[in-house]
Structure 1
């Protein structure tokens, strides 16, 4: 049943105020998530000796359905509601991320996961990303509008960033730390901070990356593999590039790909290579276009926004979304060193899919058209 503009119900107000184009693009990515896990996951399940070839697919159906519900539900919130939920989410995610250092499951020398009864494995740092972006935006906006007392908000947000950085470094999860840092620096820049301070922060970030190369063996190994490709160390990337080459322009057809049978993490970190082989260059460009559309459209929606908190929060969430997609696709194409980061909504994953849905729900809520007197007055007038 069609909803008219005169519909003053919660659903009616939501439908005529939410960015339906962005919502459609995100749901299209969710659809590709279903298609790609159906194409890639059975081969992976069979290779690792899982109890069922459809194990990953069944799980992903549940994850993506839950993610869609989370995204839609959170998009109903007001900016103030987004802030409150982000504060609660940040506190909970930070405590759970700190808990991984003590009771987390160790995988390849890193402690990033918690094994929870009934819920299985959980990576709480995934939820830190969107929640911290919103919390940081709120504190930076407060600092900019508080006059001389703004230093208190600056001290708090810098302290929280330092705490998050310390916890992620201790796991260690340098890739996650890079994303959080990039988002935070982007928000500081958009807030109009003195360029000298921004440059100093940028220099500090570059120094941190250089330091990570010399301090963390796994970071040094991945960079060296990318630059020098020592002794077949780029096996996953080589197979991924072979998959892209086999797919050509139109692909070999759904389910007909062969590289997923030998490509580790074909359903997760390297799902883009499976897309390339089975669906070809045109669909790869279409998926790239969807990510670009979401980011550009979101930024365009902010041009008419006057609330600094909304601008900073949405800019941070869009930066995070676009950066994560870029890292995944660029890793598969051997444009940057490999990093275990999922392709939003397309890769298999529980924590990552729900966390991305949380962030995009925040974005849809923040970019809804609102009346100057607030959403409560929507029944008496139009939307801004």
Structure 2
């Protein structure tokens, strides 16, 4: 099998043709879109634009077919048991809100416990607080070990308290650490908990297999998978989805409505109120079809090579405090420069056309536990090159020289 050609891969992204001088290392925030995705959305609006499910005319039927084909493609990609187990949302945040709201008073009752981890994105913290904590549901948190990985012994100890729900990230959006999700799901299931995985960073690292992983829910955003913004997926086992009270009401999610009572539609429609992001769904399916043309193992090997070179370069730079471990890392490195504020470092990198993110990365509880104001985050994608690595290292050295002069 021929090796991975990063230049050929990169050429499929118009962004880099328009911005050849930029090093883009903010991929954990959002990824660029290949022409195949842009074209799919453009063609939908130019050729097939119509609303779905409710039109008697042929144009609506064609749009519906495209939308439901997109659902089928995503279900196949996830190896879902049934197509209706794929629910379209606006992103992972909306999906987690639907789960947290939907389980309250069906599965979760006052006095019950849910279990999160110290690594979680705000989207996997705040919804549980909004919808559960105010109803008397207790939130427990898995702490970290000194090397910033999850304390699995503490995890098992907290499972012994009998949480009804366990929700955790596949990959830390701050540190890039890959969690042992299969082991964590198995332990949680043995404890009788419903399992929720935030796959926002994990879905692009490896193709998730829902049959093998056996979690109850898995959520992700399209824009973290070379797809459009504003579209995401809530996967759930049929039995788990049936536990969810709809967060939004109206439109396609109903079967019968009167001023006295409403009965909900069947899955997946009862969890998809209103006109969906049809073009976004088509674009996400296009991203998946496009990505499947490449060997995922080769993509990950390329990213691993970039990560090795980046860590090797960092080892020669003084005054850098690296928060991320190079082991079990999906391609994200968080670091700080002595006592300098992360934003100052990012500004100086920006002046050298290196795009990174600085701050607390929607993970304030993590940084509170680390007693840090934030970090500078470098996140790599398969379209990044060794030249990107070298330029970012040089820019970092120059930024440090300015800040510490």
TM over 0.5: no
Identify, as 1 or 2, the structure richer in strand: 2
TM-score, structure 2 normalization: 0.28
TM-score, structure 1 normalization: 0.29
- If asked which structure has higher relative contact order (CA below 8 Å, sep 6+), I would say 1
